[in-house]
Structure 1
């Protein structure tokens, strides 16, 4: 996901992301990294789910990572 926002505005507008599996088990163990690109108005947003939660034998696929934002 790429965001076009003024560089002066800090891109910390994301609510906490979460993920859930097919059985509706949820986790908020998702990290968000926002990195500037060469374009001064574009950032790269990377969502990284917790590997232990994903690989738990209790997990039921499909898993959805919700990057909700109000941008």
Structure 2
């Protein structure tokens, strides 16, 4: 087994204990609770993974500016 509960188990526990088994109250906050709206940072000294290098290469070749879009 795992040393700690995962996201699915934690969400089920919150639904059972705090929402009395109902999906309605949890649905109101689930996106902000599990996804959030804060962007983090990766240290500049961290090596780039191949997917990141490919994305940066494509952005340069297509002249796209890398930017974070606002969530609607």
TM-score greater than 0.5 by the shorter chain: no
Q: What TM bracket, shorter-length normalisation?
A: under 0.3
Q: Greater strand share, 1 or 2? A: 1
Structure 1 or 2, whichever has the larger Rg, is 2
Structure 1 length-normalised TM: 0.24
Q: Greater helix share, 1 or 2? A: 2
Structure 2 length-normalised TM: 0.24
Say which structure, 1 or 2, has more relative contact order (CA 8 Å, 6+ apart): 1
